Amino acid sequence: MAALPESISQRLVNWARIKSPWITLFNSGACNACDIEVIACLMPRFDIERFGILAKGSPRHADILIVTGHVTLKQASRLRRVWEQISEPKYVIAMGACGASAGAFHGLYHIMERVEDVIPVDVYTAGCPPRPDEIINAVVTCLNLLKEDQVHGGKEWRQNKSDEMMKPIERKVEM
């Protein structure tokens, strides 16, 4: 995504993206606790649809991919394929302890251990499973990243920044 001069239609698209991010959920071999917490987000108690966050069934409609679970060897290529189907700009949330380092499953024979080994991750959420408000916080963090990326004209600036500083993305989660 190069830094184009902003036309009115592009500004409208950017505005709409931030007002209504669509998420899709991918279970890469999780124990389903994370999936249940995402479902709890959609239920009346948290009701993320009032913020315009919609859960979509197809990755082709989504802006944000939420990956739950340690990535099993069989699911790795499928996760990669799902990620490739999402149109730019796309953001990835690795959910829970499993997404960061396989959590309770660390060291087993059938897993990739980190989502980061398969696809680039923008935001990590801590917890086993993370609470629904932490998921909402992760989505909001993604939107802040999206705003900053629009200013910088792409995601490359964060790569340069991470060379200078230690893991700026993880610090963002704790904001």
Partner 1 sequence: MTALLTLDYVAEKMKEYGTAEQVRSNRIRIRTTPERVSNAIQKALESLGCDRLITISTADNGTTFELFYHLIGPHRTVVSIAIEIPRDQPEVISMSGILSPAGIYERQIHDLFGIMFRGHPGLKKIILNEDWPADEFPLRKDWKKNPDTYYGGIKVERT
Residue ranges binding partner 1 (CB under 8 A): 71-74, 76-77, 80, 107, 109-110, 112, 117-118
Q: Which residues make beta-bridge pairs with 64?
A: 23, 91
**Minimal distance, residue 118 CB to partner 1, in Å:** 5
**Minimal distance, residue 24 CB to partner 1, in Å:** 20
- Per-residue tokens: 170: 């993880």
Q: Is the Cβ of residue 47 or residue 170 nearer to partner 1 in the bound state?
A: 170
Q: How far apart are CA 92 and CA 124, in angstroms?
A: 9
Q: How far apart are CA 175 and CA 155, in angstroms?
A: 20
**Minimal distance, residue 47 CB to partner 1, in Å:** 36
Give the dihedral sign, CA 129/135/141/143. Answer: positive
- Per-residue tokens: 100: 């960061």
Asked if residue 125 lies in contact with residue 95, where contact means CB atoms within 8 angstroms, the answer is yes
Q: Is the Cβ of residue 11 or residue 106 nearer to partner 1 in the bound state?
A: 106
Q: Is the Cβ of residue 61 or residue 114 nearer to partner 1 in the bound state?
A: 114
Q: Is the Cβ of residue 24 or residue 75 nearer to partner 1 in the bound state?
A: 75
Among 69, 147, 81, which residue's Cα sits nearest to residue 114? 69
**Minimal distance, residue 31 CB to partner 1, in Å:** 18
